[in-house]
Amino acid sequence: MSRPDHMDVAAYALGVLDEQDTERFEEHLAACWACAAELETMVPVVGLLSGIDGETMMALEQTATDPALLDRTLVAVRADRRRTRFRQLLATAAAVVVFGGLTGFAFVSVTDDAPPGVLADPTQSTSVNDPPTSVPSTAPTGPGIGGTEEEGDQVEATDPTTGVQTTMFLVTREYGTRVNFSLRKLPGPRTCRLVVVRKNSTTEVISTWSVPEGGYGTSSRPQGLELSASTSAPVGDIKQFLVQSVDGNGVASPLVTVPM
């Protein structure tokens, strides 16, 4: 953020920047709280000066020695100001301040019935990012289940010994293959990994994760685990996927195998 960007606040508030400079400053304003705060403090001043042209400014300079005449001149100027242009300016400033994150409690309200620069009563904003209350479900929750259908080729497997279940969606990409997968009936605590086995018998570990004590997709934690990983191997070169449990010594044991 350069010093000229900060110095453009007054020029932007008065609407004297050209279209290109206005666009540049608004991009700067969206990320600069200091300029946004300064712009907010200028709202009442801009309301007073928005309708004053060059001739009026010269007249005001001549009234500097007569306070009473100055007050009468200002009243006359305010009554004749160009309200439409000022409303557009304040609407833009309010949008930048509110949506730029400066404050979630005040909005600038400018109407034909109220003088410019009046702030609406503070209202407590409601966060849209609060996480929803978790409701346990015993239904499978893998990718594409109960929601938008997942792209890619779907493969599923359940190990008859461990009981671990997985659903995978294989998506062809220029770089290789993206693997979106879910796991259920996965007990914990443990450390796991996903291994790609190519048709030429080479292997590649493409994801590792930890499983808490309650596991995933179990009676104590019905919600399944959803993950995503990538490999440079094209789908046609993949022989199988191995989901393995790895102990503290690095020894792997099978949890579920997904043949291709």
Write the CA distances from 47 to 6, 12, 13, 70, integer angstroms: 21, 14, 10, 17
Asked, for residue 136, whether it belongs to a domain, the answer is no
Considering only CA atoms, give the Rg of the chain. 32
Examine the fold and report which residue of 66, 82, 99 is the final residue of a domain before the chain moves on: 99
Residues 157 and 241 in one domain: yes
Strand ranges, E, within 138-251: 153-158, 165-173, 176-184, 190-198, 203-211, 225-231, 238-246
Q: What is the mean pLDDT of residues 112-125?
A: 46
Q: Do 240 and 160 belong together in one domain?
A: yes
Query: What confidence score (pLDDT) does residue 62 get?
Result: 59
Is 207 inside a domain boundary? Answer: yes
Whether residues 251 and 157 fall in one domain: yes
Close Cβ partners of 140 (under 8 Å, ≥ 6 residues apart):
165, 167, 182, 184, 217, 224
**Domain identity same for 159 and 231:** yes
**167 and 95 part of one domain:** no
* 165 within domain boundaries: yes
CATH for 207: 2.60.40
Of the two residues 222 and 133, the one the predictor is more confident about is 222
Say if 124 falls within a structural domain: no
Please give the backbone phi and psi of residue 211, each rounded to the nearest 5 degrees, phi first.
-115, 125
Kindly state whether residue 184 falls inside one of the protein's structural domains: yes
Spatial separation of the C-alpha atoms in residues 10 and 39, rounded to whole Å: 7
Q: What is the mean pLDDT of residues 124-129?
A: 46
pLDDT confidence of residue 17: 79
Per-residue pLDDT tens for 22-54?
888 888 877 887 887 777 777 766 666 655 665
Cα 258 vs. chain centroid, distance in angstroms? 36
Q: How far apart are CA 223 and CA 158, in angstroms?
A: 17
3-state secondary structure (DSSP) of residue 45: helix
Whether residue 163 is found in the same domain as residue 92: no
Same domain, 171 and 247: yes
pLDDT number for residue 23: 83
Is 70 exceeded by the pLDDT of residue 94?
Answer: no
- Of the candidates 46, 125, 29, the one whose C-alpha atom is nearest the C-alpha of residue 86 is 46
Q: Which domain holds residue 18?
A: 3-99
pLDDT at 105 over 50: no
Residues 101 and 196: their CA atoms lie apart, in Å, by 44
Report yes or no on 210 lying in a domain: yes
Distances (CA, A) of 70 to 22, 44, 66, 75: 32, 18, 6, 9
The tally of domains found in the chain comes to 2
* CA 56, 58, 64, 66 torsion-angle sign: negative
In a domain, 127, yes or no: no
| Residue 50 belongs to some domain of the structure | yes
Question: 160 with 92, same domain?
Answer: no
